[in-house]
Amino acid sequence: MSSQTLREARKYEEALAKLISKEDRPGFHLSPRVGWMNDPNGFSYYNGKYHMFYQYYPYEAAWGPMHWGHAVSDDLLHWEHLTCALAPDEFYDKDGVFSGSAIGLPDGRQLLIYTGVMKRTVENGHLKEFQTQCLAMGDGEDYEKYANNPVLGTDAIPANGNVEHFRDPKIWQKKDGSYRLLVANLKDDGFGQLLLFKSKNALNWEFEKVFAENDGSYGLMWECPDFFELDGQGVIFVSPQDMLPEGFEFHNGNGNVCIIGDYDDATDTFVPKTFQAVDYGIDFYAHQSILTPDGRRVMIGWMQNWDTSGAHDRNLPWFGQMTVPRELEIKNGRLYQNPIRELESMRKDKVEHLNTVIKGDESVLDTEGHNPSSRVYLDGIEGRQIDMTITIHPENVEDIYDKFTIGLASDSKKHTDVIFRPKENIVKLDRKFSGSRRSIVHQRRTKVPFNNGEVKVRIILDRFSMELFFEDGAYAMTATLDTDVSAKEIYFEANKNVIIDVTKYDLSDN
């Protein structure tokens, strides 16, 4: 039986969603049915459909008491919104149904595991938040919360753990049929740890060990953990809060980290070997992955960041979107990611320009290093829903260019630039001229190896976002865009002659 709180949320979203046109949404990125979206939750495959739940506040395009929104898809690109799955309607989750994961049960039901948030007054009269792990079971549309919630209370936290930061459970089933659960926790020293719990039936859990922990090298609290095996390695995803920059690998604020290591399934032991960023752009957080029925590991993240997500207009009908799904692999000890291959079925109207010379001119640059009069526009190379691959070569390898720019989502006043500096092995994403009126993060740089000035990038543009994949997926950069969709020009600019090969497809969302 659904609660009054859940019925009200469903009634509200049903009414308001009718007022949002298809054209006002992304073409192929999941956005909330109405209101606010953040972290992906419960990313799973169940009863022949991909399911994506998400942190959700239907009543305003701003963070509020968290619900779980719900959508399903056949291909991870075309989504159907279902009704709100969970609402904060029990004493143990009255202040928020926080992030979690999902799995199918042997009896045919789908199990959701999430963090329930409850605030209560403690001895000193202060309001304190308690986070516990809770279950709900259902048929893929409607879910009933477990009568014995919470299944992991604050008494399950080790002595050095914090009861206010115990969240984001990630569940998986082992080959022997037993279950494991990874939960993020904050230690007394202010750094995060990932706690591993085990269960025979996914209902009754016991603490097993600390699976991994932060020694202070990567932010403070680790949020939204994911764990899986890929190409013979164990992989942990975490989203650290309050990171400090480390060269061009990690940036300030709330970030994303991939930890690759050795995993012993028999003893549930993970030994980390390498740490890398997952996405080097502006808007990427709380990534979750799934093993598809055909054996691919696919990841989706929240295409936003906490340091800028409060700068939008709260009166918008919706806010927040997910990244394009990305297929993952490990090559040479590094995580690679590329847009899911199903995206190629949306391609149409191929345009190609091969061995095209972009002539450089350093004589009349403005204060930003641009020479608008020397911008090059190529026939048919434009659009805001496109899949475009560009390979950049210097015309003279003995005297390579210092700077090459691709301007996207451009008109007479607005543009977002991808700037290549081969002599420094740096790529910069710059959206300060994209139309935003806020003083938020608009630039980010990363190291990308050039080969004598040559580099390759694949660009996925949707109406309100851009995703860049360099060197066949070795590096990714993601950013949302405020630019009006009418700004669809694309230009090229160089300070010395550059040769480019461009292949562009429009992407149809029909």
d(CA 453, CA 458): 17
In the 3-class helix/strand/coil scheme, how is 34-81 assigned residue by residue? CEEEEEEEEEEEECCEEEEEEEEECCCCCCCCCEEEEEEECCCCCEEE
Q: What is the edge-to-edge ordering of all strands in the sheet holding 206-213?
A: 161-173, 179-187, 192-199, 206-213
* CB 223 within 8 Å of CB 240: yes
d(CA 207, CA 199): 9
Please name the helix (run of DSSP H) or strand (run of DSSP E) that holds residue 12, with its range, or none: helix 4-17
Give the number of other Cβ atoms within 10 Å of residue 219's Cβ. Answer: 23
Q: Which of 172, 163, 91, 173 is nearest to 134 (CA)?
A: 91
Q: Which of 248, 243, 245 is nearest to 427 (CA)?
A: 248
Local structure of 451: helix, strand or coil: strand
Rg of the chain in Å (alpha carbons): 23
Local structure of 17: helix, strand or coil: helix
Please name the helix (run of DSSP H) or strand (run of DSSP E) that holds residue 15, with its range, or none: helix 4-17
Polymer length of the chain: 510
Q: Is 39 an annotated catalytic residue?
A: yes
* CB 319 within 8 Å of CB 37: yes
Q: Is 22 left (phi over 0), alpha (psi -120 to 50) or beta?
A: alpha
Give the pairing type, strands 318-319 and 386-394: unpaired
Return the residue matching tokens 């300030």.
252
User: C-alpha distances in angstroms, 261 versus 223, 234, 291, 356?
Assistant: 19, 5, 19, 43
d(CA 322, CA 51): 13
Is the backbone peptide bond immediately before 150 cis, with ω within 30 degrees of 0?
yes
d(CA 315, CA 332): 47
Options 24, 39, 399, 462, the catalytic residue: 39
Q: What DSSP state is assigned to residue 127? A: E
d(CA 44, CA 292): 9
Cα within 13 Å of Cα(51), Cβ side: 27
Task: For 174-324, list the strands marked E by DSSP.
Answer: 179-187, 192-199, 206-213, 222-230, 233-240, 257-264, 269-276, 285-291, 297-302, 318-319
d(CA 166, CA 168): 7
Catalytic positions are 39
